[in-house]
C-alpha cells in the first residue's frame, strides 16, 4: 500500500485506525481525549483566563481613558473651528498628536504583553493537562490515549474519556489543586 497520493493526516488516520482495530482485537484499552475541549472547559483554564483578564484590566481601562481624552480634544478642535485662536489650535493639535503617538505605543505594548502572558499561561495549562491525562491513563489502566492532534478522524463516545478527565480536573479544582 502506497501513501504517496494521500496526505499525512489521512495516512496517520489510517494507521491509527489500523492500530486501534488491532488493539481492540488484543483487548488493549484505548482512550481518546480532546485537548481543545479540556482547554476550553477545564476549571483551571477558566481560572487562568479570569486571572489574565484581572491582570490586564487596569491597563485596558487606562488605554480607554486615554482614548476618551483624545476624543475630547478632537471634539474641542471641531467645535472651536472659527472661534479658537491659532496658537490654542496648534497647542491642541500638538497635544492630540502626542497623545495619539503615546496611545499607539501603549496599545502595541499592551497587545504584546497580553500575547506573551497568554502564551505563558497556555504552555502551563498544556503541560498540566498532559500530566493529568498521563496520570489518568495510568490510574485507569489505559494502554493508549490519543488526542485529536494525533490524526483521529472519528472516535465513538465509548472511547472518548474527555468528560471523565474534566470531572477529575473539576474535582481537583474544588479540592484546591
Q: Which residues contact 95 (CB under 8 A, 6 or more apart)?
A: 73
Q: In this structure, which CATH number among 3.30.1300.10, 3.40.1190.10, 3.30.565.10, 3.30.910.20 belongs to the domain 8-174?
A: 3.30.910.20
Which pLDDT does position 3 carry in this prediction? 47
The sign of the CA dihedral 10, 12, 16, 19 is positive
The C-alpha cell at 68 is: 476618551
For 3, other C-beta atoms within 10 Å of its C-beta total 12
Which pLDDT does position 1 carry in this prediction? 47
**Cα(70)–Cα(81) distance, rounded to whole angstroms?**
17
Q: Give, as one character, the DSSP assignment of residue 31.
A: E
**Which residues in the chain land under pLDDT 70?**
1-26, 149-158, 177
Which pLDDT does position 22 carry in this prediction? 58
Q: Domain extents for the chain?
A: 8-174
Q: Which residues contact 47 (CB under 8 A, 6 or more apart)?
A: 173
Which pLDDT does position 18 carry in this prediction? 66
Which pLDDT does position 122 carry in this prediction? 93
Which pLDDT does position 6 carry in this prediction? 58
**Cα(109)–Cα(104) distance, rounded to whole angstroms?**
9
Which pLDDT does position 33 carry in this prediction? 85
Q: Which of 50, 48, 29 is nearest to 126 (CA)?
A: 48
Alpha helices in 140-161 (DSSP H): none
* Polymer length in residues for the chain: 177
Q: Which of 34, 31, 30 is nearest to 169 (CA)?
A: 34
The sign of the CA dihedral 100, 101, 102, 107 is positive
Chain center to CA of 21: 34
Greatest CA span in the chain, whole angstroms?
89
**Cα(32)–Cα(50) distance, rounded to whole angstroms?**
28
Q: What is the pTM of this model?
A: 0.67
Amino acid at each position: 500500500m502506497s501513501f504517496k497520493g494521500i496526505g499525512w493526516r489521512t495516512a496517520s488516520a489510517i494507521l491509527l485506525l489500523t492500530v486501534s482495530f488491532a488493539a481492540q482485537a488484543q483487548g488493549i484499552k484505548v482512550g481518546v481525549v480532546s485537548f481543545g475541549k479540556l482547554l476550553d472547559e477545564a476549571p483551571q483554564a477558566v481560572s487562568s483566563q479570569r486571572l489574565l483578564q484581572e491582570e490586564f484590566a487596569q491597563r485596558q481601562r487606562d488605554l480607554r481613558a486615554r482614548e476618551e481624552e483624545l476624543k475630547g480634544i478632537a471634539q474641542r478642535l471641531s467645535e472651536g473651528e472659527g472661534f479658537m485662536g491659532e496658537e490654542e489650535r496648534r497647542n491642541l493639535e500638538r497635544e492630540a498628536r502626542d497623545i495619539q503617538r503615546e496611545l499607539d505605543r501603549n496599545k502595541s505594548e499592551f497587545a504584546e504583553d497580553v500575547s506573551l502572558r497568554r502564551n505563558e499561561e497556555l504552555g502551563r495549562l498544556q503541560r498540566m493537562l498532559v500530566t493529568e491525562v498521563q496520570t489518568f491513563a495510568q490510574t485507569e489502566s489505559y494502554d493508549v490515549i490519543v488526542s485529536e492532534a494525533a490524526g483521529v478522524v472519528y472516535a465513538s463516545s465509548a472511547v472518548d474519556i474527555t468528560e471523565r478527565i474534566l470531572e477529575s480536573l473539576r474535582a481537583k479544582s474544588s479540592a484546591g489543586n
